[in-house]
Each structure stands twice: as structure tokens, then as C-alpha cells.
């Protein structure tokens, strides 16, 4: 659809043969600084993953393997941070960020996305950590490794597929997130979904550029996934060796 | 030495081009400078304007550099699609405002006025330092449009578009089947049935729920059948016999002569079905015409006819209408600059190109303007301006801030009637009961 | 679980243990507290007030009035709760089994499989807005491709999102299309992390494929699969974009979920007090469902082997 003229796009029966034009793609780029939004979204997505993984993965490991008082409650409380309906928390967040003076900054969106995805990363990774046989950690500890060292050198590579899956999904959630991106962002920090939605205007839906921008929106995602898949294969081989 | 002369040639050439450009701008600015106010009195200030995506927004975006040239005020537009902008505007104002100096607004104006989120504008209009009314011509704006921007006697917003509910039909299909243009609702129904076939719907209307969806065209039916939203005692009256008659006709048209899934039709589906030849007639906003007549966007360019909504019992119809408006944030710290922008954006010189491109305008002078009329069919211009003239803003339910709430309930009732889930009187009675509860809160 | 031996080991490395626990958990906990507690408190406060944005008088304290109103006087609330449960149940039943099945098919690897996997991620990767609009048009009997194809087979296409009887199903289908990849992706990763020994042993023993699946694969993949399911349940309860664009809760109110209702209450009707109360009730319901789920699914971590 991204290559058709508007009238062809909706014709039913579908027009399979049409004169494709890249005008739609050009229009997308010309309108409202699309490259800037692209950049914003990519930046926000990458930072979100970075923080979510760094903060979340160690916590996830501890919650899956260790036992201590109140663990179950902490577990559940982390889960509950994801439960609130976004509508309920939209206005409070807006007020808070406004008072902090960080509205319309990429930082505020990154903060929101971390909040939204941290619990997901932690809980999903718990499942992967649970798949690691007990023997491995205990062997490492007996050998004199500190917990942190065992964690980084031995455990992490074993859950590489899980890390990859989590990273992909967190990136996707962040990339496609619309509600908070619209409310908290302004001109400077606009993201791709917001820009894409702009092709739905009053009394008209511009299908050509909409599809074109949707296609363009897909590209970084696909790039990211294929990049990360290579790491996946690496991680698997590492895991096999350590076994 | 040679280098130096090359440099100066380049410089000379550049400054020549520069002068050309400036004079090009200057000639446009001359129109504005006819006004006896000092456009540059707020020079150096910055404005943030919130808008939703609309033909008007695109036009303003184009003319912004001229505004900056004229006034020395820097303007940034923040544009979002309609539904998203509503959310954002709401959250922004509920969070204390102070972010957008100027913003576009629709039926929500009255809610905002009640909440104290819009600045009264009359003082700016009457201030001779800020407004030259001889040039600006406030009275040129349709008085109904001006009325639309008022709440409890205070004027808050200026209109930037003007559209009315009209009937569109395929004149070629009418010819084929030997049908006359319907003058009454009953004729409309008969025509629609005859035009309906396996491959084309007789008529399409909005059926989807939503206070801004099916309620909009349905209101035209309500008023045409002499129904009212509220009676003389301000009680909800949309379950009266007139309202029931209107709703039954609305539903009949869709059930007997309409498309397969009318309850999922919002303005976009109505527009597209006709544009792609899947429906023969439709009743909705006149602005669709701009899409129908564009061969890039429709297959029926040149085959459409336009006329005012059919009436009932020999009386003229009372169509619905809409004016998009712009208003000012009372918490803005650039109020005078904001007013200069508003004045500029709603002046004849800006609204004319908007009108020419989009087929919508709130000023009488534009509807009589040669350039505007030459672009669109006379038939359409007549239908639209007549529609705007017969429309009656006093009937509109938006003045109650609770409109979005009872409007939604009403839209659900209409949707239920269209899908034949509920009987008409029963559905409307329920809507009225719920509305009473809401208004008594 | 072998708590005794576990505790013994913990005791001998007590200090180091504790340090690790604290350093690994602290950043996450602190971040979450900072980011979520304040808005939550604001929400609670709002739910106890008579807060109507269009009322210039401003909010007044009314205690539990909003909650009473919603629970005892609001048929819409109960209806939307019911629709939400139906919607979520429909979505996750299909998504879980479909995702598991596809993940199983792809688990043997290979480049062809990798390509398919990347393709299958597309629905989830596409912007929900574009997805929703595209499906709305696809569902259109006059302009959409679905009924067009059905007609080629001489089947009369339905009215989909225009039919009150099947609108909910139509919406569920779009959700399934979009989110099955989510389940698949996580479960696939789970498959790939499975230890190989049990499978080798089983094949040596001559176990049938189905038995391997039932007695080895399923239990081993349980933690991952059930976690994915849990998140899908929570997210599905909060679904908004798809429903709003496709039907806005219609026809009538046959697809009006609790989240949609809360949105309309707050953002359309401007009744912030009631919307906040709805949000809190919603949260409590989700908590209840999750608690039941966790108990039932036995998701205990820490020595699940």
C-alpha cells in the first residue's frame, strides 16, 4: 500500500497492477522532520533497553534464585507496577513531569518507558533463570567465585536467548508506545508513532504516506532484531561450551 | 585580487536575490500593513500554538514565515491528529495550562469555558491598538459562527472553518435510473432503495457510536423532523415523537438501503464508500466535496451532485454544521502576541487560501469571492452556504459541558437502533433517562 | 525445592549473599518506587474527590462515594467488566496455544526458520495505530479485502466490526494477530534454552514425540510460558488502541471494555474523580486475577527444578 496512489490504495477489487510511486515516501520525509522523530524514537528505545537491562536483570536473577523474607511480596509488587491502566496515571504523570520541568524531553519518555517495562523484563527473565539447573551456580560458588562474578561470567551467557527476546520486546514496546509519547512529548521529543498518526487528519486519511511511514517505522526494528539475533547464536554457543 | 572580485560578484548576486525575495514578501505583507495597527508591537516574543491536523493547519504552516516577517514574533506549531490532540490539549489544560499560547478547539469549547481554560477575546477585538476592525471586519464572520464561539454571553474563540451537513448524490446514477433529486426525506428513502444493488449501497450515513460520530449527522435529522435536544424547561427531549420519527428514518435508510455494516461507519467510511463508488448517496459534511472532486483521491470526480438536506412536510431542513475555532490560554504570558496571531490567522487574507484549498470558510466575503467560487461547483457552494444559513446554533447541545457524556449515551442508543438491537422508542427513552441522571449530578 | 541444603549454602556465604541481594535488587526497587508511588498516591487522592474538570468550583472530598456509585449504581461498569473478561479470555486462549505451537515448529532452527521468525515478529513490531486502521479497512465489507476474498469462494462475508454479535470476536482476532508473535517469541527463546540432556535421554529410551512434548518439554518450558501468559493477561486487560479505533466500544456497547470506559469517563466526560476510582478498582481486579493465576499456575521460582 505504501507504493500506491491514494485512489488505487483503497480500490476494491484490489488493483494488483499499479504504477508504484515513491512519492509517498518522499512526502513522509518532507513532512514534519520525520528524520528527527526517527532519531528520537531510536534514542529513546536504546536508552530504555539499556537501563531496563542493567537495572532489571540482576534483580531478576536474585528474585528467581534467592530466597529471603518478603521476596514473594516484592515479586508481586514489581508485577503490579505494570497493572495500572495507563489512563489512570496519565494526568498524575503529566503533573509530576511538568513540575520537574522535564516535559517535552526525551528523558521524560525514557523514564516512563523504563517504568512501564522494568517489571516485564524482571518477570520474564525470572522464567529463563529458572531453567538453569541448580548445579551450575553451586559449582561456581564452590570454586570460589563471588556471586557477581558467577552471575556475569557464567549465568548470563546461559540466558542469552532470553535476554535477546526481552531486549527485542522492550525495544518494540518503547518504539511503538503512543499514549505517553503524545501526552508528555512536544515538538522536540516527538516520536515515530505520533508522527505516523499525523497522517490521520480531519476528514482524510492519507493512506499512502501512512503506509510508507509504517514501513519506514519497521526498518530499525528489523535491523535491531537481525543484529541481536547474531548475538543470540553467539550466546547459544557459549552456553553449550560452558555446559 | 581575482579571488576578491569573485567574492564580491557572489555577494552582489546574493544580495540581489535577497532583495528580490524580500520584495516578494513585502508585496504580500502589504495587504496586512493596510491595517492601522502596529504589527510589530510584540516583536521578539515566542508563541507555541497547538493544532490538530487539518487543512487549516497545513495552510498556516505555509504562511508562518510571512507572519514572522510581519510581526517579528516567532511561532512554533505543535500538530497532532484530532483524537490525540484532544487528549493532549485536555491533559495540558488540566495540568494548569501555560504551555500552548493558542490552540484549536471544537465543541469542547464550552467545557473549557466552564473550567476557565479559555481567555475572553472581546477586549482584544475592541482594543484599537491591537485590532483594526475596518480591516479585520469582525462582522464579516457569520453571526452564527461568532455565536458558536460564545458561552454564557462571553466570546472566547474565533472560527477558522465553516461547514454544513449536505446531501451528496451520484448524478450519473440518478440519470441512469431516471430519478429526480430528492426534495423530502421520504423521496430520499425511495431513491435510496431504488439505487441499492448488490454492488452499491443506496445511501451511507455514520452509524458508529461516539459523541462526535453518528450523533453529528443524526442531529440534522432530529432538527429537520422538528425535534429538540432539550425542551423549553431544559429537560432532555430526544425521545419525543419527533425524535423517534427522525431516528426511525435514519435507521430505515441504513437498514433498508444502506451498506452491510453501518454500525462501523464513521465519517471516513462514509467518505470512502462514495469516493470509491460503493455508495450512491450520503449525508455528511460538505467538506467531503474536496475529496470527491479530486481524481487523485476519488473515482467519482465530476459525477457528484450536491444539495441541501431534504426536508420534511414541505419545510426546509435544519442541517447540522461545524466551525473549528482557535482560542487563547488565559495563563499565557504572551497574550497580546497571541492575539496578533489569532487576528492574522482569521483574517480574510489567510482564510481565503484555506477556503480555496479545502472548501470551508466562516466568512461571508469568502463565500462570495470569485476565486473561491470558481474552484468549486456552484451547486455545492449554494448547498453549503444555504446549509450554513439554515443551521441554527441555538439548538446545539454542546453548550452543556456534559455533552460528551450524554452524547455518547445517545450515540449508543442510535447504534442500537441501527443494528436493530433495541426498539427505537425504548432506546431513546433509556438515553433520556441516563441523561437526566448525568445532568443532575 | 530443597530448602534445607539451599539455606545451608546461604549460611556459609551469608555476608556475600546479602551484599549481592541488596546490590542486585536495590536499583530496580528504588527506580520503581520513585516512578510509581507518587502517581499512585495522586490517583488515590483523586478517587476520593468529586473531581469534575468542567466544574470551576473545583474538587471536594467525598470519601468512598465514587466507589459506591460505581459498584452499586453503574450498570455500565459491570457490563464493561464482563466484556473485558470475555475479551481477555478469548485472546489469551488462542494466543497461548498458537504461540506455543508455532514456537515448537520453529525450535529446530535453520535459516529458513529464522526468516519465518523475523516475518512473524512483524505484526507485533508494526505500530498499533497503523495496524488498527489497516484492519478497520480490511474488515469493511465494501472496501476491505477479507470479504472480497470470501466472495471469491462464494462465502458471504460478515459485517465484522459492524455486527453486534461478532464485533467482539473481530476485535479479538486482531489482537491475536498482533500478539501471538509475543508469545511465540518468548516461548521460542524458552525452547532454545532448554538443556539437551533430557531430550537425548528420552530419544535413547525410544520415547514418542508426543510423550516427549507432554512430559519433558511442557514441564521444562512451564516457567517461561506461564510468565509470558501472565503478562499477556495483564496487558490484554489493558488493551485500548485496537478497540478504540476499530469500534470505539460499539456497536452499542458490545465491545466496551473497562479500560475504554475509564478512558471515556476521564478524558471525554472529564469526570476525573470517577475515572480515578475506576482505575483503582481496575487495578484491584487485575491484582486479584494475578494472585489467583500465580497460585494456580504454581509459579514459584527458586529451585523449580
Between CA A194 and CA A97 the distance in angstroms is 19
- Please say whether the dihedral angle defined by the alpha carbons of residues B405, B409, B414 and B419, taken in this order, is positive or negative: positive
DSSP symbol at B419? T
User: How far is CA C97 from its chain centroid?
Assistant: 15
Q: Does residue A15 sit within a domain? A: no
What are the backbone dihedrals phi and psi of residue C142, each rounded to the nearest 5 degrees, phi first? -90, -35
**For chains A and B, what is the number of CB pairs under 8 angstroms?**
79
Q: Does residue A96 sit within a domain? A: yes
Report chain A residues whose CB lies below 8 A from the CB of B94: 91, 94
- Host domain of residue A159: 22-241
Q: Does residue A108 sit within a domain? A: yes
Using alpha carbons only, how large is chain A's radius of gyration in Å? 22
Instruction: Tell me how close the Cα of B105 comes to any Cα of chain C, in angstroms.
Output: 14
Between CA C99 and CA C105 the distance in angstroms is 10
* C-alpha to C-alpha distances, C288 to B34, B151, C76, nearest whole angstrom: 69, 46, 21
Residue B24's pLDDT band, with cuts at 50, 70 and 90, is: very low
By the CB < 8 Å criterion, does A239 face chain C? yes
Which residue from A59, A129, A138 is facing C28, i.e. has the nearest CB?
A: A59
Q: Tell me the residues of chain A between 163 and 202 that have a Cβ less than 8 Å away from chain C.
A: 164-165, 168-169, 172, 175-176, 178-179, 192-193, 196-197, 200
Say whether B285 and A203 touch across the interface (CB within 8 A): yes
CATH code for the domain of A179? 1.10.3720.10
CATH code for the domain of C229? 1.10.3720.10
* Grid cell of B159 as nine digits: 472560527
For residue C14, the surrounding DSSP H or E stretch is helix C14-47
Do the bridges between strand B46-52 and strand B102-105 make them parallel or antiparallel, or are there none, so unpaired? parallel
Do residues A192 and C127 lie in contact, with contact meaning Cβ atoms separated by under 8 Å?
Answer: yes
Say whether A98 and B96 touch across the interface (CB within 8 A): yes
By the CB < 8 Å criterion, does B86 face chain A? no
- Host domain of residue C206: 76-301
Q: Does residue C71 sit within a domain? A: no
Residue B122's pLDDT band, with cuts at 50, 70 and 90, is: very high
Between CA B41 and CA A1 the distance in angstroms is 50
Is C125 in the same domain as C202? yes
Nearest to A196 by CA among A27, A4, A46, A44: A27
User: Mean pLDDT of all residues in chain B?
Assistant: 88
pLDDT at position B326, please? Answer: 94
Query: How high is the ipTM of this complex?
Result: 0.84
In order along its 243 residues, chain A shows pLDDT tens digits of 444 444 445 554 444 444 445 556 666 665 556 777 778 888 888 899 899 998 888 888 888 877 777 888 888 888 888 887 777 778 788 778 877 877 777 888 888 888 888 988 888 888 888 777 777 777 777 777 777 777 787 788 888 878 888 888 888 888 888 778 877 777 777 777 777 666 655 445 556 666 666 666 677 777 777 666 665 555 444 444 443
Q: Does residue C249 sit within a domain? A: yes
Say whether C140 and B269 touch across the interface (CB within 8 A): yes
Say whether A83 and C290 touch across the interface (CB within 8 A): yes
Between CA A119 and CA A125 the distance in angstroms is 10
pLDDT digits (tens, 9 = 90+) for B376-406: 888 898 898 889 888 888 899 988 889 999 9
Residues with Cβ within 8 Å of residue A121, at least 6 apart in sequence: A52, A53, A56, A57, A60, A166, A170
Report chain B residues whose CB lies below 8 A from the CB of A4: none
Say whether B209 and C159 touch across the interface (CB within 8 A): no
pLDDT at position C301, please? Answer: 39
Report chain B residues whose CB lies below 8 A from the CB of C160: 261, 264
Q: Does residue A13 sit within a domain? A: no
B341: how many CB neighbours lie within 10 A of its CB?
Answer: 25
Say whether B261 and C159 touch across the interface (CB within 8 A): yes
By the CB < 8 Å criterion, does B320 face chain A? no
Nearest to B352 by CA among B381, B373, B331, B377: B373
* Grid cell of A233 as nine digits: 547464536
Which parts of chain C sit beneath pLDDT 50? 1-12, 300-305
Instruction: Using an 8 Å CB-CB cutoff, list residues of chain B that contact chain C.
Output: 86-87, 90, 94, 111-112, 114-116, 201, 207-211, 213, 259-265, 269, 272-273, 276, 278-279, 401-402, 404-405, 408, 412, 415-416, 418-419, 421-422, 441
Q: Does residue C110 sit within a domain? A: yes
Closest chain B residue to A195, measured at CA: B80
Above 80 in pLDDT, residue B144?
yes
Between CA B331 and CA B329 the distance in angstroms is 5
pLDDT digits (tens, 9 = 90+) for B236-272: 999 999 999 999 999 999 999 999 999 999 988 999 8
Instruction: Tell me how close the Cα of C102 comes to any Cα of chain A, in angstroms.
Output: 16
DSSP per-residue codes, B133-194: HHHH-GGGB-HHHHHHTEETTEE--EE---EEEEEEEEHHHHHHHTPPPP-BHHHHHHHHHH
By the CB < 8 Å criterion, does A200 face chain B? yes
By the CB < 8 Å criterion, does A18 face chain B? no
Is C102 in the same domain as C35? no
Which residue from A91, A112, A127 is facing C272, i.e. has the nearest CB?
A: A91
* Grid cell of A165 as nine digits: 527476546
pLDDT digits (tens, 9 = 90+) for B340-367: 999 999 998 888 888 888 888 888 888 8
* Grid cell of A171 as nine digits: 525495544
Give the chains touching A; criterion: ≥3 Cβ pairs < 8 Å.
B, C
Residue B31's pLDDT band, with cuts at 50, 70 and 90, is: confident
What are the backbone dihedrals phi and psi of residue B326, each rounded to the nearest 5 degrees, phi first? -125, 145
Q: Tell me the residues of chain A between 60 and 99 that have a Cβ less than 8 Å away from chain C.
A: 61-68, 71, 74, 76, 78-89, 91-93, 95-96
Among B11-25, B37-51, B127-141, where is mean pLDDT lowest? B11-25
Is C141 in the same domain as C243? yes
User: How far is CA B412 from its chain centroid?
Assistant: 23
* Grid cell of B58 as nine digits: 497545513
Do the bridges between strand B154-155 and strand B150-151 make them parallel or antiparallel, or are there none, so unpaired? antiparallel
DSSP 3-state assignment of C170?
A: helix
C-alpha dihedral, B248 to B253 to B259 to B261, nearest 10°: 0
- Please say whether the dihedral angle defined by the alpha carbons of residues A126, A128, A131 and A132, taken in this order, is positive or negative: negative
Going along chain B from its start, the domains and CATH numbers come out as: 40-162+323-368 (3.40.190.10), 163-321+395-439 (3.40.190.10)
- For the purposes of burial, counting CB atoms within 10 Å of the CB of B128, is it exposed (0-12), middle (13-18) or buried (19 or more)? exposed
DSSP symbol at C305? -
* C-alpha to C-alpha distances, C132 to B34, B121, C163, nearest whole angstrom: 50, 40, 18
Q: Does residue A43 sit within a domain? A: yes
Q: Which residues pair with B47 in a beta bridge?
A: B75
Is C296 in the same domain as C149? yes
Say whether C252 and B408 touch across the interface (CB within 8 A): no
Is C202 in the same domain as C133? yes
Residue B281's pLDDT band, with cuts at 50, 70 and 90, is: very high
Q: Tell me the residues of chain C between 122 and 141 that have a Cβ less than 8 Å away from chain B.
A: 136, 139-141
Residues with Cβ within 8 Å of residue C110, at least 6 apart in sequence: none
Report chain A residues whose CB lies below 8 A from the CB of C33: none
Domain count along chain C: 2
Report chain A residues whose CB lies below 8 A from the CB of B78: 186-187
Angle at CA of residue B80, ends A198 and B55, nearest 5°: 75
Whole-prediction pTM value? 0.84
Say whether C270 and B260 touch across the interface (CB within 8 A): no
Say whether C290 and A76 touch across the interface (CB within 8 A): yes
Say whether B261 and C164 touch across the interface (CB within 8 A): no
Report chain C residues whose CB lies below 8 A from the CB of B113: none
User: How far is CA B360 from its chain centroid?
Assistant: 8
pLDDT at position A119, please? Answer: 87
By the CB < 8 Å criterion, does A243 face chain C? yes
- For the purposes of burial, counting CB atoms within 10 Å of the CB of B351, is it exposed (0-12), middle (13-18) or buried (19 or more)? buried
DSSP 3-state assignment of C192?
A: helix
pLDDT at position C5, please? Answer: 41
**For chains A and C, what is the number of CB pairs under 8 angstroms?**
267
Instruction: Tell me how close the Cα of C19 comes to any Cα of chain A, in angstroms.
Output: 9
Closest chain C residue to A138, measured at CA: C9
pLDDT at position A27, please? Answer: 62
User: DSSP strand E in chain C: where?
Assistant: 49-50, 60-61
What b-and-e string marks burial along C124-144, b requiring 16 or more CB atoms within 10 Å of the CB?
bbbbbbbbbbbbbbebbbbbb
Between CA C117 and CA C203 the distance in angstroms is 27
Q: Which residues pair with B308 in a beta bridge?
A: B166
What are the backbone dihedrals phi and psi of residue C74, each rounded to the nearest 5 degrees, phi first? -120, 95
Report chain B residues whose CB lies below 8 A from the CB of A202: 52-55, 82, 324
Is C105 in the same domain as C43? no
DSSP 3-state assignment of B24?
A: helix
Say whether A182 and B80 touch across the interface (CB within 8 A): yes
Is C110 in the same domain as C244? yes
Between CA C277 and CA C66 the distance in angstroms is 6
Is C205 in the same domain as C260? yes
Residues with Cβ within 8 Å of residue C147, at least 6 apart in sequence: C140, C141, C157, C158
- Please say whether the dihedral angle defined by the alpha carbons of residues A93, A98, A102 and A103, taken in this order, is positive or negative: positive
Q: Which residues pair with B48 in a beta bridge?
A: B76
Q: Does residue A81 sit within a domain? A: yes
* % residues pLDDT > 70 (chain B): 94
Amino acid at each position: 500500500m505504501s507504493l500506491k496512489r491514494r485512489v488505487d490504495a483503497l480500490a476494491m477489487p484490489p488493483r494488483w497492477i499499479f504504477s508504484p510511486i515513491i512519492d509517498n515516501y518522499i512526502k513522509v520525509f518532507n513532512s514534519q522532520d520525520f528524520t528527527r522523530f526517527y532519531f528520537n524514537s531510536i534514542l529513546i528505545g536504546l536508552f530504555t533497553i539499556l537501563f531496563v537491562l542493567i537495572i532489571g536483570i540482576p534483580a531478576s536473577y536474585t528474585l528467581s534464585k534467592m530466597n529471603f523474607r518478603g521476596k514473594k511480596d516484592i515479586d508481586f509488587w514489581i508485577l503490579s507496577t505494570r497493572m495500572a491502566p495507563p489512563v489512570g496515571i496519565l494526568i498524575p504523570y503529566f503533573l509530576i513531569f511538568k513540575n520537574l520541568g522535564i516535559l517535552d524531553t526525551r528523558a521524560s519518555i525514557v523514564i516512563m518507558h523504563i517504568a512501564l517495562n522494568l517489571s516485564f523484563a524482571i518477570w520474564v527473565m525470572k522464567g529463563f533463570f529458572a531453567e538453569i539447573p541448580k548445579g551450575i551456580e553451586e559449582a561456581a560458588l564452590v570454586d570460589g567465585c563471588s556471586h557477581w562474578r558467577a552471575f556475569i561470567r557464567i549465568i548470563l551467557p546461559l540466558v542469552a536467548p532470553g535476554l535477546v527476546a526481552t531486549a527485542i520486546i522492550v525495544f518494540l514496546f518503547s518504539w511503538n508506545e503512543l499514549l505517553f509519547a503524545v501526552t508528555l512529548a512536544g515538538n522536540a521529543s516527538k516520536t515515530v508513532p505520533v508522527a505516523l498518526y499525523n497522517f490521520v487528519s480531519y476528514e482524510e486519511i492519507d493512506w499512502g504516506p501512512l503506509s510508507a511511514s509504517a514501513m519506514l517505522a519497521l526498518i530499525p526494528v528489523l535491523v535491531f532484531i537481525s543484529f541481536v539475533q547474531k548475538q543470540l547464536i553467539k550466546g547459544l554457543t557459549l552456553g553449550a561450551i560452558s555446559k | 585580487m581575482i579571488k576578491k572580485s569573485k567574492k564580491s560578484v557572489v555577494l552582489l548576486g546574493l544580495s540581489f536575490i535577497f532583495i528580490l525575495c524580500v520584495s516578494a514578501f513585502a508585496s504580500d505583507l502589504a495587504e496586512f500593513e493596510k491595517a492601522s495597527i502596529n504589527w510589530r508591537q510584540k516583536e521578539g516574543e515566542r508563541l507555541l500554538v497547538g493544532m490538530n491536523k487539518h487543512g487549516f493547519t497545513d495552510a498556516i504552516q505555509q504562511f508562518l514565515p510571512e507572519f514572522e516577517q510581519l510581526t517579528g514574533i516567532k511561532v512554533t506549531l505543535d500538530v497532532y491528529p484530532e483524537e490525540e490532540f484532544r487528549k493532549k490539549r485536555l491533559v495540558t489544560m488540566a495540568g494548569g495550562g501555560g504551555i500552548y499560547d493558542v490552540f484549536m478547539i471544537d465543541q469542547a469549547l464550552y467545557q473549557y469555558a466552564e473550567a476557565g481554560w479559555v481567555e475572553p477575546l472581546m477586549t482584544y477585538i475592541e482594543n484599537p491598538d491591537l485590532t483594526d476592525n475596518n480591516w479585520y471586519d469582525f462582522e464579516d464572520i457569520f453571526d452564527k459562527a461568532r455565536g458558536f464561539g460564545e458561552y454564557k454571553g462571553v466570546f472566547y474563540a474565533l472560527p477558522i472553518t465553516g461547514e454544513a451537513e449536505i446531501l451528496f448524490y451520484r448524478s450519473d446514477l440518478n440519470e441512469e435510473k431516471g430519478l429526480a433529486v430528492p426534495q423530502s426525506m421520504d423521496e430520499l428513502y425511495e431513491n435510496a432503495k431504488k439505487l441499492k444493488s448488490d454492488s452499491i449501497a443506496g445511501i451511507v450515513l455514520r452509524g458508529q457510536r461516539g459523541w462526535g460520530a453518528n450523533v453529528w449527522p443524526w442531529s440534522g435529522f432530529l432538527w429537520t423532523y422538528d425535534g429538540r435536544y432539550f425542551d423549553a424547561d431544559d429537560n432532555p427531549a430526544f425521545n419525543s415523537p419527533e425524535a423517534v420519527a427522525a431516528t426511525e428514518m435514519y435507521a430505515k435508510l441504513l437498514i433498508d438501503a444502506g451498506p452491510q455494516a453501518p454500525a462501523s461507519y464513521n465519517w471516513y467510511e462514509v467518505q470512502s464508500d462514495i469516493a470509491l463508488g460503493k455508495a450512491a448517496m450520503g449525508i455528511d459534511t460538505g467538506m467531503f466535496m474536496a475529496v470527491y472532486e479530486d481524481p487523485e483521491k476519488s473515482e467519482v470526480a465530476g459525477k457528484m451532485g450536491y444539495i441541501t438536506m431534504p426536508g420534511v412536510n414541505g419545510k426546509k431542513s435544519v442541517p447540522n454544521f461545524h466551525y473549528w475555532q482557535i482560542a487563547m490560554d488565559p495563563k499565557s504570558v504572551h497574550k497580546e502576541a497571541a492575539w496578533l496571531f489569532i487576528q492574522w490567522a482569521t483574517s480574510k487574507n489567510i482564510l481565503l487560501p484555506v477556503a480555496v484549498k479545502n472548501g470551508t470558510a466562516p466568512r461571508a466575503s469568502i463565500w462570495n469571492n470569485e476565486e473561491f467560487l470558481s474552484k468549486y461547483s456552484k451547486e455545492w457552494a449554494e448547498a453549503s452556504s444555504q446549509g450554513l444559513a439554515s443551521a441554527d446554533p441555538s439548538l446545539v447541545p454542546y453548550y452543556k459541558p456534559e455533552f460528551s457524556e450524554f452524547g455518547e449515551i445517545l450515540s449508543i442508543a442510535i447504534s442500537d437502533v441501527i443494528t436493530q438491537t433495541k426498539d427505537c422508542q425504548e432506546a431513546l427513552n433509556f438515553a433520556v433517562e441516563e441523561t437526566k441522571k448525568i445532568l443532575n449530578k | 525445592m530443597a530448602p534445607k541444603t539451599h539455606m545451608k549454602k546461604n549460611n556459609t556465604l551469608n555476608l556475600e549473599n546479602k551484599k549481592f541481594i541488596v546490590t542486585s535488587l536495590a536499583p530496580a526497587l528504588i527506580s520503581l518506587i520513585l516512578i510509581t508511588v507518587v502517581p499512585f498516591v495522586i490517583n488515590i487522592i483523586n478517587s476520593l474527590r468529586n473531581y469534575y474538570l468542567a466544574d470551576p468550583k473545583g474538587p471536594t472530598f467525598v470519601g468512598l462515594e465514587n466507589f459506591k456509585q460505581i459498584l452499586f449504581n453503574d450498570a455500565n461498569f459491570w457490563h464493561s467488566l464482563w466484556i473485558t473478561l470475555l475479551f481477555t479470555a478469548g485472546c489469551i486462549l488462542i494466543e497461548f496455544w498458537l504461540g506455543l505451537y508455532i514456537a515448537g515448529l520453529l525450535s529446530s532452527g535453520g535459516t529458513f526458520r529464522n526468516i519465518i521468525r523475523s516475518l512473524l515478529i512483524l505484526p507485533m513490531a508494526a505500530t498499533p495505530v497503523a495496524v488498527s486502521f489497516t484492519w478497520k479497512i480490511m474488515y469493511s465489507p465494501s472496501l476491505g479485502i477479507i470479504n472480497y476474498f470470501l466472495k471469491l469462494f462464494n462465502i458471504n462475508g460478515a459485517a465484522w466490526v459492524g455486527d453486534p454479535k461478532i464485533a467482539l470476536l473481530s476485535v479479538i482476532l486482531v489482537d491475536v494477530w498482533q500478539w501471538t508473535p509475543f508469545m511465540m517469541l518468548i516461548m521460542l527463546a524458552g525452547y532454545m534454552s532448554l538443556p539437551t540432556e533430557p531430550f537425548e535421554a528420552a530419544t535413547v529410551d525410544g520415547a514418542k514425540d508426543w510423550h516427549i512434548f507432554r512430559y519433558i518439554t511442557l514441564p521444562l518450558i512451564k516457567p517461561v510460558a506461564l510468565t509470558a501468559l501472565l503478562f499477556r493477561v495483564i496487558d490484554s486487560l489493558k488493551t485500548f488502541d485496537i478497540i478504540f479505533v476499530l469500534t470505539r466500544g460499539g456497536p452499542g456497547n458490545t465491545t466496551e471494555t473497562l479500560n475504554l470506559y475509564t478512558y471515556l469517563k476521564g478524558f471525554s466526560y472529564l469526570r476525573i474523580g470517577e475515572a480515578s476510582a475506576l482505575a483503582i478498582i481496575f487495578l484491584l481486579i487485575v491484582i486479584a486475577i494475578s494472585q489467583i493465576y500465580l497460585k494456580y499456575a504454581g509459579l514459584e521460582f527458586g529451585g523449580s527444578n
